[in-house]
Amino acid sequence: MQIIKGTKVITVAQAADLAAIKEAGAIIRRGGLVAFPTETVYGLGGNALDPEAAAKIYAAKGRPSDNPLIVHVARPEEIEDLVADIPMVAEKLIEHFWPGPLTLVFPAANKVPRKTTGGLDTVAIRMPAHPVALAFIEASAYPIAGPSANLSGRPSPTTAQHVIADLAGRIDMIIDSGHTGVGVESTVLDVTVNPPQVLRPGGLTLEQLRQVVPTITVDPTTVQDTPPEIGRVRAPGMKYKHYAPKAEVLVVEGQPENITAKICELYDAYVSCGRRVAIMATAETAPSYKERRVAIVGTRANLGSVAANLFDQLRRFDASDVEGVLAEGVDMVGLGLAVMNRLRKAAGYRIIKA
Ligand code: AMP
Ligand code: MG
């Protein structure tokens, strides 16, 4: 155990570490905040039924209070208390995909504070597939409101070190269980509309969802390559500037050969102006850049590896002297859909088609 700026940091390797998990649960019952690991990214947990805890979460993150919080449960039955209706399609999806990176948006029961839902009459709920997260939720004896445990506008945290960098001194405890696996946030699916609609692409792919419910649609603002008009975005969080690293990011999209040629050209032009730039590449394309400064984020053959490392890599650029990042686009299939959604936002939609 360590205390950093007043925040307790405990390492919990397994759900069986009862003393630590009980302590985290007790903090939640007292109205405090605990950052916890999930399979997607670290969450910032507070009692979802306590409007004051929700207010503390918004304050700790510096998050606009109309951006709703996802409620985390340890068992599917817990949703019965939190929602006004469970559409049949939701039951089917829960059976297939919970626990896992799928958040479902339901009509909210009255007992869910409107502070937690950002003022909406709907509530977003998921059951994470992480033993420590589940044990922590059980120990707290409340559903846990848990947005990503980063300062608003920074890349989501995939290690406890990221959480410490953003939130030490602002919350009561951080549970460190190492790297998260998926690396991008959950898929948010609205089941209050028919057919259900993806409001945010994420760790559960559209292809996986459509195997169970073929009619599922996608909010077009989440996959477009221009900044979404605020009035059209359906997940309130998607309208805010997000995942913004300090370095200016430019995404180059197209066929891999065209991407590498364009990035070499841009890189050399920047360097000749005296700018410190780096390339965010994949293992397959990295050799094309020769002596240029390259960070490999993952492989094109396994876009899950890109998802897993994306936020960590963006934070590494932040910690370096790099002023500009030339990032390769990837195919918008599988986890590539979530990766490109995050990357385009990180770039503020500065996109070049190669
Ligand atoms: P984060 O907490 O950082 O993972 O972000 C949660 C995402 O889920 C944001 O984009 C929210 O806008 C979205 N979300 C949460 N609750 C709802 C809801 N009731 N309706 C629509 N989107 C929601
Ligand atoms: Mg977030």
* pLDDT (tens digit per residue) in 139-169: 999 999 999 999 998 899 999 999 999 999 9
What are the DSSP calls for 316-353, one per residue? HHHHSS-SEEEEE---SSTTHHHHHHHHHHHTTT-EEE
Question: 124 alpha carbon to ligand 1 midpoint, in Å?
Answer: 7
Report whether pLDDT(242) > 70. no
Question: 58 alpha carbon to ligand 2 midpoint, in Å?
Answer: 11
Task: Dig out the tokens for 90 from the structure.
Answer: 């939701």
Neighbours of 131 (CB within 10 A): 16
CA of 65, nearest ligand number: 1
Residues with Cβ within 8 Å of residue 264, at least 6 apart in sequence: 288, 289, 292
C-alpha distances (whole Å) from 47 to each of 22, 50, 138, 207 are 15, 5, 12, 33
Question: 146 alpha carbon to ligand 2 midpoint, in Å?
Answer: 9
Task: Dig out the tokens for 288 from the structure.
Answer: 């094309």
Distance CA 25, CA 143 (A): 11
- Substitution candidate for ligand 1 out of 33, 66, 188 with most atoms within 8 A of CB: 188
Span 97-118, average pLDDT: 98
Domain parsing of the chain, residue ranges: 2-222, 248-353
- In this prediction, residue 232 carries a pLDDT of 74
Pick the CATH number of 248-353 from 3.40.50.11030, 2.60.40.10, 3.30.300.30, 3.40.120.10: 3.40.50.11030
C-alpha distances (whole Å) from 316 to each of 5, 110, 126, 261 are 22, 43, 29, 25
Span 340-349, average pLDDT: 94
Q: Is 101 within 8 Å of 186 (Cβ atoms)? A: yes
Per-chain mean pLDDT for the chain: 95
Give pLDDT tens digits for 27-63: 999 999 999 999 999 999 999 999 999 999 999 999 8
- Substitution candidate for ligand 1 out of 42, 70, 187 with most atoms within 8 A of CB: 70
CB of 238 within 6 A of ligand 1: the answer is yes
Give pLDDT tens digits for 275-309: 999 999 999 999 999 999 999 999 999 999 999 99
Position 14 confidence tier, pLDDT thresholds 50, 70, 90: confident
Question: 69 alpha carbon to ligand 1 midpoint, in Å?
Answer: 6
Span 176-184, average pLDDT: 97
User: Looking at domain 2-222, which CATH architecture does it have?
Assistant: Alpha-Beta Complex (3.90)
Span 309-330, average pLDDT: 96
Report whether pLDDT(243) > 80. no
